Amino acid sequence: MQQAETNRVLLVDDDAVLLRAYKRVLTQEGWAVETALDGLEASQRLQEGAFEVIVSDINMPGYGGLGFLRGVRERDLDVPVILMTGKPTVDTSVRAIEYGVFRYLLKPLNQDTLVETVGRAARLHKLARLKRRALEIAGTEGRWLGDREALEARYKRANELLWMAFQPIVAWRERRVFGYEALLRSDEPTLTAPGDILEAATRLGRLRELGRIIRAKSAELARHMPSDARLFINLHASELADDALLDAATPLARIASRVVLEVTERESLEGVSDASARVQALRKLGFQIAIDDLGAGYAGLTSFAQLEPDVVKLDNTLVRGIDALPKKQSIVQSMKKLCDELGMLVIAEGVETPAERDALAAAGCNLFQGYLFARPERGFTAPAF
């Protein structure tokens, strides 16, 4: 989130006497100081407006400084946070660094240190803002303009806290589970959305590595999946070029006959020169191929021609509100008919309401995935029919 410049400083400490003393010092230096006595109160201050710098104690009753710092990073990647502690430990300092602390200071602070550190933090905050603006003007995407080291650190953490969620795909008429889609998740607070993790990996040149991790983890967990269910795994188009994917000795390849690889329609396959040959090789290993997000992409028929998918997944956008939109109904009905003729299975994604489900069924669809049946969760949850 991009914030405007302010002269506001937030001071957090459960020691009211110290708080007043620090406030006096910083006010004399021209800062507009807000105070809070614990992490919870500090979070409330944060909701009320942005700060140029945050100075917080670590050890406070209830919601302490580290939890607060984590919350801050979910909202704002740039605001410098200075943490203070009277009892330093290796563990807290490591975590503080992971959550992007600006400086870790020992209490008691002397006035000069406080003033100097806040001043320096504020200047760096301004610089971070200017860098974002410069890059925005240069037409680059603004979201990832923290420096590479910061991104590396966050990505490393995201990688360590990575886990796979699974969402069932159901055969509606039979009221049974058809398969599960593996979906990437991370507990790292600044990189939770799968799209953000993938984007970070792409920027850091680590996409292949991430893909390998996802496939290994998913294959490992598939041991707990019902034996008649298929496992759906997302592939980034560029991963098709990874030779490791074609290695028959990987845990995923060993269960290939139960695996459907989803390639999204959102990205073009243009970068992969021998996409068709590679897909052929995957088929030889026993994998099936799905086109993901059909209806969301701009791709014409190229992806179909190159992939010859076994399965087609209709995008959320075609499903949303279909019960009230005859145009969507007729598109889906025609698509389903064509896919039948081509020998391709159709899965409708993002089914959220019974009305959508029924409209899709009326259009001939039977395989559904969506919150109506189950959310993506740890483990292989049974859907609600």
67 forms part of the interface with ligand G (CB under 6 A): no
Q: For residue 63, give both structure tokens.
A: 């919601």
* Site for ligand G contains 350 (CB under 6 A): yes
DSSP H helical ranges for the chain: 16-28, 39-48, 65-75, 90-98, 111-137, 148-160, 194-203, 207-221, 251-254, 275-285, 302-307, 316-319, 326-342, 354-362
Q: Mutual orientation of helices 194-203 and 148-160 as an angle, nearest 10°?
A: 130
Site membership for ligand G, residue 183 (CB under 6 A) = yes
- Residue 84 sits at the vertex; the CA angle it makes with 80 and 90, to the nearest 5 degrees, is 100
Rounded CA gap, 348 and 312, in Å? 9
- Window 201-240: contact mask with ligand G (x via CB under 6 A): ---------------------------------x------
| Nearest partner of 214 among 188, 169, 245, judged by Cα | 245
From CA 274, how far away is CA 246, in angstroms rounded?
A: 13
Q: Is 255 helix (H, G, I), strand (E, B) or coil?
A: coil
Among 113-121, 132-140, 199-207, 349-357, the segment contacting ligand G (CB under 6 A): 349-357
Least Cα distance to 179 among 285, 265, 258 occurs for 258
Nearest C-alpha neighbor of 73 from the set 33, 48, 94, 102: 102
Q: How far is the CB of 310 from ligand G (least distance, A)?
A: 16
Interface residues for ligand G in 299-318 (CB under 6 A)?
316
Residue among 14, 57, 242, 292 that touches ligand G (CB under 6 A): 292
Task: Count CB-CB contacts under 10 A for residue 253.
Answer: 19
CB neighbours (10 Å) of residue 202?
14
Q: How far is the CB of 228 from Mn ion (least distance, A)?
A: 21
CB of 167 to Mn ion, least distance (A): 9
Confirm or reject binding of residue 167 to ligand G (CB under 6 A).
yes
Per CB under 6 A, does 293 bind ligand G? yes
Nearest approach in angstroms of CB 349 to ligand G is 5
**What is the closest distance, in whole angstroms, from the C-beta atom of residue 211 to ligand G in the complex?**
14
| Of 41-49, 165-173, 229-237, 253-261: span binding Mn ion (CB under 5 A) | 229-237
C-alpha span between 152 and 183 (Å, rounded): 22
Q: Judged by CB under 6 A, does residue 179 bind ligand G? A: no
Residues 6+ apart with CB under 8 A from 222: 231, 255, 258
Measured between its terminal Cα atoms, the distance across the chain in Å is: 40
Residue nearest to ligand G (CB): 370
Region from 68-76, 249-257, 347-355, 357-365 binding ligand G, contact rule CB under 6 A? 347-355
3-class DSSP string for 347-366: EECCCCCHHHHHHHHHCCCC
Closest separation between CB of residue 293 and Mn ion, Å? 7
Of 93 and 192, nearer to ligand G (C-beta) is 192
CA distances from 295 to 81, 321, 354 (A): 44, 15, 21
Question: What is d(CA 298, CA 336) in angstroms, rounded to the nearest whole number?
Answer: 19
Tell me the three state secondary structure of residue 264.
strand
Report the nearest approach of ligand G to the CB of residue 326 (Å): 22
* Window of 2-10, 49-57, 199-207, 344-352 that interacts with ligand G by CB under 6 A: 344-352
Pattern 242-281, Mn ion, x by CB under 5 A? --------------------x-------------------
Name which of 53 and 164 has its Cβ closer to ligand G: 164
Tell which one of 292, 315, 323, 356 touches Mn ion (CB under 5 A).
292
CB of 34 to ligand G, least distance (A): 37
Count of residues near ligand G by CB under 6 A = 14
Q: What x/- string results for residues 76 through 115 when contact with ligand G is judged by CB under 6 A?
A: ----------------------------------------
- Contact with ligand G (CB under 6 A) among 352, 361, 366, 381: 352
Chain positions contacting ligand G, by CB under 6 A: 167, 183, 194, 234, 292-293, 316, 349-352, 370-371, 376
Binding residues for Mn ion, rule: CB under 5 A, are 234, 262, 292
